[in-house]
Chains A and B, each alone.
Chain A
């Protein structure tokens, strides 16, 4: 970001000011141009599409595992392959689906919801996406080369150290984890600055949509949660490649250190996935109940409180490791306390919905599905916060059931509802209500069939992460049921994805505001124009569109012929200055490629690290090359020879 520069030359302008504005904010066309995009809508859509692809891949892995477990002693997957499958399933779903899809929605929606034309650091945004894409592709290439990691998504040492996991599998894992966290961190930086500094005038903090609050809290959580796991995965990587002894017990290292570092990230991670979904739910509930939400302040406080308390729970993943009792009791208390903000949110929504006769359209259905599933998952969460009970069910299928209830109920159902809800804004077309109902009921029924029996499986002795089990333990029927349920659930997801793909081309045209919703993104056309808003609005109330008086106050003075955004104050969103954003650029891709050379090359030889460093340096010079003059991009020169 560069502040307004008096010396900056203007570009020639022809046509109406709208045409000029459109050209200014246009992304380069064509396939080569694809690599130059920096616009938040482009990047957001890429994140969302890529993440959904990973959801399908991770889902297929889950189905294959369910097939393997459908009967005792099955031989569909060898133990080696099964271990790769569950490791890849966890890694894919947590790192390559859940977090990126939430980031994708945040990146797409944030500027639209706060009345900005783009995000604060457009090129950083693009960089984050390429890093994510490269990490994901590299991980799956390793899978197809038979080098997929096999020590679990949690990669406990010493199992994941060189001694017990020889070969390159865990090197791939450690490197890609470091890499994907980088992507999450840059997205978080980007979102924090955008939300705090680019809100339209009048959108003081207490008028921000709840979704934006959720994203703000999550971005701060990412800032604190990702560094520990990056440090840990880097320590693991160099333990393996350079022979350091952070985790080597025989050389004075420690096996539990990894668990602390990993779960210090790993537990907040759950809330990093869950809180954006809470923001989505608030948006859906407000729109479909056609009401102002009850308890805006408690809802915001609940998000913030969850963000803090979420960092105090990590030890409940380690109750069986024999920690002192006083410490464990503290973490029990913290783990239970976190139910209070969740309870508060749920009851605020109930109070809002009460008697509102909402429209039972798919987004609301998915929101209601959330209540049923998530409350159950939350309650089992309270149970396993208790040390003695956890000693029994820890690392069993009870836990598998619990966290799928929390994550699928708490994040995937709201996410599907949100996708249905914002689909018209993103594509300009509506999804089918009928398909929406089908996908909801299939997913809801299948989910419960698949995961409810797992509670009992855990209690009657079935541990997690077993590639098979023997007959005669009473586990057969429930496992078969879970497998059937998993396929029904998958059918629901398939219906949803097909509906989205078909509607993208042939759904009914949506118009600006098909749901009569309150937030700012619905005031612009669907899909939004290149510049998002013709005029930056001045916000008159917490529910921007519902509270608009009709006077249409807006900002004047932003130039049409270069990418200018209005910077406002953090608390009250008073205009402060104008910032000129960079346009399309090849440097994000160059930078991501250079960093990849270092990270991925490290798998073979440490020498790639200095090579990557040198390349990164070059990319950085290109990235920071001064841009006093905003020139018209070359492809436009060609199109407009008369200029």
Chain B
């Protein structure tokens, strides 16, 4: 049942057609493009090596079948081993080494004018914040959804709240581990608008499988529009039901873990919900963010994501709808 809910969920989210939204073979940024090229080159060379080596093995054992045994002369044997076992691998490996070191250097050189993002790995979700150029009121904090402007480098600082995670959005770049007690760093850039999925790649416990996120690359105008909307505190709820929902939220266990800016809920243990309704997914890109999924998640998250830190909420039907109405206002 869990599976089916999860399964249905994401189909809505990823508009771009599903295959390849989390693939290093469909690069959409400079790093991923370089690595993909490296892969195709290595694949071509290694395929040739594999065919030659296996061909030689087969030739060796099938040669002379039905006729007399033949043997290579000592000199031929020596040349074969030196050529195939030493010279050829040295040349191939040297080529690979130089090529890959060159790519590493290109990846390290981070351009100026990068947009800064801070990401904190939690068991089992990603906190994403955009420091507001020295002004705390311009800070934006969201979760499991990384918006970036197309064509601009994005410098990412990674920290962990608990165990080791690994940040990976394969369409844009390789992994960077997220290690408690240290800051690690990477930078990415998207060359075209699009939505891709990324996922934690270092085993981090029970729900490692459901610790994903979306990267949404938009034209700069759209990105800044999003950013400005995110900077706003939560809007005042209008409908009586939503007002009641906020009351339940602020007087219940919700505010022990979550932040809704503009209210008294300021805890950072769980994801910031100030604009939760604007996000495309819930539970770390596990289910799509529909009213039905929000209801299921609030009532019994343990069914959708067993072991998640979010406890089940014991709400009456009426209260549940009030909370859902309130959450819907958090756009």
Contact = CB atoms under 8 A, between A and B. Distances in A.
B81 A470 contact: no
A505 B88 CA distance: 49
Contacts of A249: 180-181
Contacts of B197: 461, 473
B19 A474 contact: yes
**How big is the B interface, by class?**
35 or more
A39 B19 CA distance: 59
Interface stretch (B3-11, B133-141, B247-255): B3-11
Interface in A382-412: 382-383, 385-396
Nearest to B47: A379
A207 B69 CA distance: 26
Contacts of B268: none
B103 A463 contact: no
Interface in B300-317: 306-307
Interface string B179-202: 111101100000000000101111
A158 B85 contact: no
With most chain B CB atoms within 10 A of its CB, the pick from A83, A164, A347 is A347
A344 B7 contact: no
A205 to B, nearest CB: 22
B100 A388 contact: yes
B207 A79 contact: yes
Interface in A335-358: 336-337, 339-340, 343-348, 350-358
Contacts, number: 291
A355 B70 contact: yes
A255 interface: yes
Contact of A461 (B90, B103, B170): B170
A586 interface: no
B2 A73 contact: yes
A388 B201 contact: no
Contact of B20 (A321, A344, A355, A474): A474
A461 B60 contact: no
Contacts of B219: none
Nearest to A395: B201
A387 B61 contact: no
A388 B174 contact: yes
Interface of A: 72-75, 78-80, 83, 151-152, 156, 158-159, 164, 249-250, 254-256, 291, 294-295, 298, 320-322, 325, 328-329, 332-333, 336-337, 339-340, 343-348, 350-358, 360, 364, 368, 371-372, 375-376, 379-380, 382-383, 385-396, 459-461, 463-474
12 contacts: A158-B162, A164-B205, A249-B181, A322-B177, A329-B97, A329-B104, A339-B89, A358-B61, A388-B38, A460-B23, A466-B209, A473-B21
* Complex A-B, nearest 5 residue pairs according to Cβ-Cβ distance, in ascending order: A73-B3, A391-B174, A461-B22, A355-B70, A249-B181
Interface of B: 1-4, 6-11, 14, 18-25, 31-32, 34-35, 38-39, 42, 46, 49-50, 53-54, 56-57, 59-61, 63-65, 69-72, 76-77, 80-81, 84-86, 88-90, 92-93, 96-97, 99-101, 103-105, 107-108, 123, 162-164, 166, 168, 170, 173-177, 179-182, 184-185, 197, 199-209, 286, 306-307
Given A158-B180, A321-B177, A473-B18, 18 more contacts: A83-B205, A250-B181, A295-B81, A320-B176, A322-B179, A322-B185, A340-B85, A348-B85, A354-B59, A354-B63, A356-B60, A356-B64, A387-B104, A388-B107, A391-B174, A394-B174, A461-B170, A470-B286
